[in-house]
Amino acid sequence: MNDFAYILLRSFGRSSFLPNIPGFVIKLLYGDMAAMLLNGSRISAEKIRNKGFKFNYDTIARSLENSSKSVIKS
């Protein structure tokens, strides 16, 4: 499991029970679409900051914790 998924689950007070699935199995199941699942996105917060964007939270963990609290309240 990647860091984002772990932090997202933890922000909702959950844990993952799914095992890691080998890449070749995902490729067999999803074909060309497997690239989206296996490669993900490479996003640089530093490049965005250099363009003048201001984040409300300094880490993804704090952002998700705040978001999960508002979801649970509604």
Q: Which domain holds residue 20?
A: 3-73
pLDDT band of residue 1 (cuts 50, 70, 90) is low
pTM of the model: 0.47
56: Cβ contacts below 8 Å, ≥ 6 apart: 63
Q: Which pLDDT score, from 0 to 100, does residue 71 have? A: 63
Domain count, the chain: 1
d(CA 58, CA 63) in angstroms, rounded, equals 8
Mean of pLDDT values over 21-44 = 87
